[in-house]
A and B are shown apart, each in its own frame.
Chain A
Amino acid sequence: MIAITTIGKYLPENRVSNLDLLEKFETDELFIRDKIGVVQRAQKAPEEKASDLCIKAFENLLSKKSLDKSTVDCCIVVTQNPDFNIPHTSAIVHGALDLPESCACFDISLGCSGYVYGLSIVTAFMEANAFKTGLLFTADPYSDIIDPEDKNTALIFGDGATVTLLEENQPGLVALGYDFGSKGAGYKNLVNEGKLYMNGRAVFNFSAGVVPKSIEKLLQKLNLEKTEIDQWYLHQGSKYIVDTITQRLSLEPEKVVFNMYDYGNSISSSIPMLLSEDLSNFKQGQKFGVSGFGVGLSWASAIFEMK
């Protein structure tokens, strides 16, 4: 049984305030706080790459739990903003962390659904190969591709990285089941063609439409009621979309975590960023729902239990 045992995170210290852009984008503080949900954005140094963010997240992981690096069986990075097109960023991370030659490395090219997809892929990969220790990184530094003049994207995204330690037969979060899906015909609504373009309405319609259905379907598959889930961790696309999904699913608002005011939407890192804070407080038997959705257009939902 493979479990999530510890999550490390990294947020660049540098912050860019959205409150300084109210006049430029003809908006107000209430909209920034209550609708977008991002007051300031974490922004990496221009020379920092995805691998640099991953390495700092790993340092944070080590501050929480000691780990013999020679025991790491696999190192996977979820990113769509890799250091280079060739090679894969996980190889660069592998080298920088001095992981063993026996360690398997690959990248997963997914955006906001990437963490949930990644957990399923890495868990299955570990089980298929009798691996005991795996690292799943997320790092998608969007500050490199954002057009600062584009109101649709300039106020939302922040840089950051996480690393999830997956271990065999250790206490931690274990997946009870997943639901995945894609609407590839809609890929042009969120695309990087030199700079990021987002059709906000189309992405909102997609998210508000598919995520509640995905979660309902998964709960039904697992024969669980919404009330049996102790906490929900939805991708932090914006406060508005998290609130909309909460309302459409009739979830208890206090059970839905939202907190990216201080750093922004960190794409595939948004869910593990929150889990990294809360994981140590989870109690055995508690269940947690997660759902990532965005670029692709792609979604993945999962239910976890603390074991």
Chain B
Amino acid sequence: MATVTVEQILETIEKAKLVQDINTLDHSKPLTEQGIDSLDFSGVLFNIEEAFGIEIPDDDIDGLQTINDILVYVNNKV
């Protein structure tokens, strides 16, 4: 499967309307430090799972704090 790009990750988050402006997100900073609370973060993971057809077990969540973390994780899964 083709490599998932950071743009695709951001597009997924944007579609879910979880942040006002995805362009303001720092890709290396935890999402929970950028106005995304614990429920929104669940929403982010749900939309990522759905968009890329993967399952993210609870045990993996601690390693998925930033956009960059998610990008690497998704590419390892697809």
Contact = CB atoms under 8 A, between A and B. Distances in A.
A204 interface: yes
B18 to A, nearest CB: 10
| Shortest beta-carbon contacts, A-B, top 5 | A240-B39, A201-B42, A35-B39, A204-B42, A205-B46
Contact of A31 (B16, B37, B46): B37
A280 to B, nearest CB: 34
Interface centre among A199, A200, A240 (most CB of B within 10 A): A240
B76 to A, nearest CB: 20
Interface string B26-62: 0000000000010100110110011000000010010
Given A200-B42, A240-B43, A247-B17, 11 more contacts: A31-B37, A35-B37, A201-B45, A201-B58, A204-B42, A204-B43, A205-B42, A205-B49, A208-B43, A208-B46, A209-B50
A244 B50 CA distance: 14
Contacts of A247: 16-17
Contacts of A199: 58
26 contacts: A31-B37, A31-B39, A35-B39, A199-B58, A200-B42, A201-B42, A201-B45, A201-B58, A201-B61, A202-B58, A204-B39, A204-B42, A204-B43, A204-B46, A205-B46, A205-B49, A208-B43, A208-B46, A209-B46, A209-B50, A238-B39, A240-B39, A240-B43, A244-B43, A247-B16, A247-B17
Interface of A: 31, 35, 199-202, 204-205, 208-209, 238, 240, 244, 247
Binding site of B, secondary structure by majority: helix, strand, loop or mixed?
Answer: helix
A165 B42 CA distance: 39
Interface residues of B, number: 12
A161 B63 CA distance: 43
Q: Which of B37, B39, B43 has the most CB of A within 10 A?
A: B39
A201 B42 CA distance: 6
Contacts of B61: 201
Nearest to A205: B46
A172 B74 CA distance: 51
A200 B37 CA distance: 14
Interface string B57-73: 01001000000000000
A202 B61 CA distance: 13
A18 to B, nearest CB: 15
Contacts of B49: 205
Contacts of B46: 204-205, 208-209
Nearest to A208: B46
Nearest to B55: A205
B8 to A, nearest CB: 19
B13 to A, nearest CB: 13
Contacts of B58: 199, 201-202
Nearest to B46: A205
B17 to A, nearest CB: 6
Nearest to B58: A201
Nearest to A204: B42
A130 B12 CA distance: 53
Contacts of B45: 201
Contacts of A35: 37, 39
Contacts of A240: 39, 43
Contacts of A205: 42, 46, 49
A104 to B, nearest CB: 43
Nearest to B37: A31
Contacts of B17: 247
